Structure 1
């Protein structure tokens, strides 16, 4: 939820873009609820904005707030976020048996998240990661509102993970500094990098806030997936068998980081590391129960993460 102070800091074009995104979101959610035939959900108001401005719907509340500030953008000035760059990603593969042409995202399968379909398709076309694979990774990572829509402002209270991709602060900064990524180009365009290509201290807060921009998050999920898949292929992991293989390998890279993902796929993590990760995911008591059942920490962690990945990463749901 944006407040008056944050709104006043936006440029006219950014305010216009905010109106566009709110209107697009409400239209998509309204159509989805109407298709479900749920009268209660169809008449529900936007939670973020109805709480902030006298119970009005999201778009009405936003326009009212801008009007009170004398800052409603003129018609015809709504702008999209900048298109993603088509520069090659670092270490981009020369060949791949699975490309975006093998896979078509069915927008209506996104349900209340249909507003993100164009961003996912752009990211898929740019990086070669199948669009349905990207959709399934986002679906597994992002927090959800009551209507099933992905919460672009989700934050993990136990870590610095934030946004649709639940990127840790350090990982997000690394992607901004990695040549060839969408985020690197955007950071350069905004003047957030120094002459050495590193994020400046004064720009760090602005860069990390960009995790809550769905376009930036989706594009960075795709770039991070592409980089992780390349690393996995270099250590001999076959990630190109089919779209599901691509999606699950990319998710493991996103969830574990490329180093641990490679170990997991090539035999398993060492017991100490596996025990630590399992306890962080399911809690110490449940981790102990699973460890006793499996006989060792490596197998216990493998069983849990394999089961979780099989349940959550299903690209066919979006095809």
Structure 2
């Protein structure tokens, strides 16, 4: 049986052939590849047997190894320390104990290997808890236990039984341990867990934002699970990057490079926690929900938004009274205005809207940088989770209203359906979202949109897979992308209570 290789991003047929010591021609012939410059990510290639021994390339062009970082957490999302773990890779077993962060040493294996993970129970038996397929150069897997282990000496209380009932305690942060006694006087340790809860809301590493999510739901009439799903799709997450030595699995020693120095690989560990300090290096997008300068200022100027209420309270957004002539009579009117730090007011002009004035020079002097202290304070609210989350909800509801005003039929949609439309309109913008729903996006626009998301090569592959049609290619990619991104049930303690959520394609058909 021929050896197989799964094409990775950036691979070429020439590099793959060189890495395996075979000819490019034989590789293309065996896999019936007519255009040797066109292979796609994820394509499985059969590797032909070597006919002649080719001198190996130093260093090897394609690194087939992958890194796996395992972290073990308890039901309170806290690291489990000192647990015995067994990891089986390609028939070889490694045993470790978790450290204070709940991690074991990083595992090196071949890509596409399936790593079997077992943990040792208190009884001494081993229990299989996960299987992880290494499909990426670096994979970080968080394995969560449904239990919490606590060190305690359980001694029977010999005093009188408890006869009075105490008031129900206030909710405690996840992981809080409280010492209480049962009705017969025995000691009990209570651990505050996230699930179950009244709202049926699961946030995992983002439990710290629970109160903000619930309040935003009550304010907007949108279910907290839908808001959490939108946030999970839109928010940048905190990622830890480290460089670790590559260990030779046979010698168990660090592998050396051509220069004689230990090889290292980049290990990226995504915590899953939303990053309130996220900042784009390519634009002015900032905060959890990556609002651009102009979009954020626009939301602040919109009456009724959460951000507008704060801006008015601070006195940044106000009005200026003026007198105009209507029907030859003087009439006093109030015009929206922005109050600068020096007390002067900025208003729209005859040709330029206020948001445009505040979003350009001399007021915006660089990405996320304002010349005025009040405007800078407003922009910096993007870094505050409460404002980032509520503004994302307000923006989404405004886009839903924009769809409804254009005669799209939104009545009767579940919040899960609406969450997909909110993400679609946030991703494309309201105008292009309407065209996407009506399937009227032009081929040139579809090509630009798809290329911006996946790159020119992958965009060409999507088009090729859809009859060389960029509209169909873009549509196929985006429908699948939104369906994967917006997962309502993932944010529920009990998903059996979830209302049915349709695919984005079904939703777009239903509302036209």
Asked if residue 241 in structure 1 is aligned to residue 418 in structure 2, the reply is: no
CA–CA separation in structure 2 for the residues paired with 1:270 and 1:161: 27
Which stretch shifts more, 158-167 or 233-242? Answer: 233-242
CA–CA separation in structure 2 for the residues paired with 1:32 and 1:243: 28
Q: Which has the higher contact order (CA 8 A, sep 6+)?
A: 1
* Cα 1:288–1:223 shift into 2, 3 Å: same
Provide Cα deviations, 1:263-285, integer angstroms capped at 9, x if missing partner: 21122422222221111111122
CA–CA separation in structure 2 for the residues paired with 1:267 and 1:136: 26
CA–CA separation in structure 2 for the residues paired with 1:266 and 1:232: 12
3-state secondary structure, aligned to 2:77: helix
CA–CA separation in structure 2 for the residues paired with 1:233 and 1:254: 16
Aligned residues of 1:112 and 1:148 also touching (Cα < 8 A): yes
* Cα 1:172–1:36 shift into 2, 3 Å: farther
CA–CA separation in structure 2 for the residues paired with 1:162 and 1:206: 13
* Partner of residue 279, structure 1: 451
Asked if residue 300 in structure 1 is aligned to residue 476 in structure 2, the reply is: no
* Cα 1:188–1:138 shift into 2, 3 Å: same
Across the two proteins, how many residue pairs are aligned to each other?
232
1:163 equivalent among 267, 287, 312:
287
- Give the alignment's TM-score, normalised by structure 2: 0.42
Provide Cα deviations, 1:42-98, integer angstroms capped at 9, x if missing partner: 479xxxxxxxxxxxxxxxxxxxxxxxxxxxxxxxxxxxxxxxxxxxxxxxxxxxxxx
* Partner of residue 289, structure 1: 461
* Cα 1:222–1:272 shift into 2, 3 Å: same
Provide Cα deviations, 1:289-318, integer angstroms capped at 9, x if missing partner: 212222322211111111111111011111
Asked if residue 174 in structure 1 is aligned to residue 298 in structure 2, the reply is: yes
Asked if residue 126 in structure 1 is aligned to residue 219 in structure 2, the reply is: yes
* Cα 1:36–1:274 shift into 2, 3 Å: farther
* Partner of residue 216, structure 1: 387
* Larger relative strand fraction: 2
* Partner of residue 254, structure 1: 426
Residues 19-98 of structure 1 mapped to structure 2, 5 A cutoff: 31-34=76-79, 39-40=98-99, 42=101
* Cα 1:246–1:284 shift into 2, 3 Å: same
Aligned residues of 1:120 and 1:135 also touching (Cα < 8 A): yes
* Larger relative helix fraction: 1
**What RMSD over aligned residues (CA atoms) do the two structures have, in Å?**
2.6
CA–CA separation in structure 1 for the residues paired with 2:392 and 2:236: 15
* Partner of residue 489, structure 2: 316
- Give the alignment's TM-score, normalised by structure 1: 0.66
* Partner of residue 375, structure 2: 204
CA–CA separation in structure 1 for the residues paired with 2:476 and 2:382: 31
Aligned residues of 1:152 and 1:212 also touching (Cα < 8 A): yes
* Cα 1:162–1:276 shift into 2, 3 Å: same
1:264 equivalent among 432, 436, 443:
436
Deviation at 1:204, TM superposition (A): 2.4
* Alignment gaps of 5+ in structure 2: 1-73, 84-97, 104-197, 239-269, 320-334, 341-362, 364-371, 493-512
Aligned residues of 2:285 and 2:291 also touching (Cα < 8 A): yes
* Cα 1:140–1:178 shift into 2, 3 Å: same
* Cα 1:184–1:281 shift into 2, 3 Å: same
CA–CA separation in structure 1 for the residues paired with 2:299 and 2:211: 22
